[in-house]
A and B are shown apart, each in its own frame.
Chain A
Amino acid sequence: MTARPTVLLCDDSRALRMLAAGQLDEAGFEVVGEAGNGLEAVERYRELRPDLVLLDLVMPELDGRQALVRILEHDPAARVVILSSLGAQGDIAECLRLGARSYLQKPIDPDAMERVLRQVVA
């Protein structure tokens, strides 16, 4: 594990990616790639093999749940944390059952994010 864990940031909102990238940097994580839809998320995971993936649940082309399945098919050890804008508990629970390591609810609390991500990479 590198000193700064690497992160692939996947959300269709450019504004959110900008905000989250700053928060991740301050929390000691290195954003090595971004994706604006689920298909890109899967492709970039294959290219980059980051320590962590932050994956929005609702995205175009391929939604977060389907992207999660494909990432885990490719790499069962992938550490994926789901981002959700609302406590869509059913979807989140399903993603956790499918193998997501944790989830974060938007708006992202930077302290909660750091705690959750540190726990996932530990």
Chain B
Amino acid sequence: MAAKLLGQFLLERGVISAPQLLAAIEAQRATNPLLGELALREGWLDEAQVRRIHQRQRVEDRRFGELALEMGLLDQARLDALLELQKAGRRMIGELLVEQGAIDAARLESELAQHRAGQAQARQMFDGLVAHHPLGNLAGNAIELCTRLFPRMFASPCQASAVLSPEELGVWSCVAHVRVEGERPLDIALASNLPTARALTCALLGIAPSRCDEALALDALGETVNVLMGYVMRDLLPDDDAGYRALPPDTSVPLARLAADRERSITVLLETQLGGFVLLLGQPA
């Protein structure tokens, strides 16, 4: 059992269709604007300023408002006003599905109850699997990094969903991994299918799908795992400047091969609105 976002849960149970889910997600994006979007709308920041703050967020992993204040681009009064606007406008996916007629309120209540129960059970199972794995501590921290960084990089929430077994890895055809050499070498990999890799790339680079071929998608996946690796190295590994060295991203190794030793690797499924992807951490022998 895997933890799932509500929309995905309803889709998989046949309660809603994919077009209905997509319509609700798009409505949610429109009605749950990011602070940057709100600041643009109010005329308090221009696009270049918003982009600079987002870029710093990727590097420093800090909140938009905090950075905007520090950079002198917003004052506290305007930031407070934006936060209030954001809170007032927030819509839940279930509410939007009801509004759009995809599901009625009573059915939503019933599904929500099952979703919550399933989430709790899946979370317990997931936490157990991660906690008991030899790499559980590192994995937990890396997952947390992903859930913080990926909304900023790809404008989509990200949620850890399941621990995968090696038999489940064949479908993830786009794989980029970075090996960190040192006293305790480490493999960090991200994998997805091609449509998700392309969607993530378009979100990361701000380009139209027509400009994103498979090579660019793999390349961007490699850069993403490079960024993640940088944070893992800075935040999680022992402080030893000379001891660790990262090799360039490698997109030629299948995920199943990287994950062959279950005791020395862990693969976690993460869900985003752009599709699922896999995070792998491994300690090569």
| Of A16-24, A44-52, A69-77, A95-103, the one with at least 4 CB within 8 A of chain B | A16-24
Q: Is A108 an interface residue (CB 8 A)?
A: yes
A105 to B244, CA, bound (A): 15
A19-46 interface mask toward B, CB cutoff 8 Å, 1 = contact, 0 = none? 1001100100000000000000000000
A78-108 interface mask toward B, CB cutoff 8 Å, 1 = contact, 0 = none? 0000000111111000000000000001111
B240-252 interface mask toward A, CB cutoff 8 Å, 1 = contact, 0 = none? 0110111111000
Residues of B in contact, count (CB < 8 Å): 35
A111 to B63, CA, bound (A): 16
List the B residue with the shortest CB-CB distance to A60: B248
Indicate the member of A14, A23, A90 with the most B CB atoms within 10 Å: A14
Is B216 a contact partner of A85 (Cβ separation < 8 A)?
A: no
Q: Is B92 an interface residue (CB 8 A)?
A: no
B213-238 interface mask toward A, CB cutoff 8 Å, 1 = contact, 0 = none? 00110011011001101100110000
Is A15 a contact partner of B59 (Cβ separation < 8 A)?
A: no
Chain B 44-62 residues near chain A, CB threshold 8 A: 48, 51-52, 55-56, 58-60
Known A12-B248, A15-B216, A86-B246; judge A26-B230 contact (CB<8 A).
Answer: no
> Mind listing 21 A-B residue pairs with CB under 8 Å?
A12-B248, A13-B226, A14-B215, A14-B219, A15-B205, A16-B223, A58-B248, A85-B229, A85-B230, A85-B248, A86-B180, A86-B230, A89-B241, A89-B242, A105-B230, A106-B226, A107-B58, A109-B59, A109-B60, A110-B52, A110-B55
A105 to B233, CA, bound (A): 13
Q: Is B2 an interface residue (CB 8 A)?
A: no
Contacts between chains A and B (CB distance < 8 A), count: 71
Q: Is B192 an interface residue (CB 8 A)?
A: no
Q: Is B161 an interface residue (CB 8 A)?
A: no
Is B205 a contact partner of A85 (Cβ separation < 8 A)?
A: no
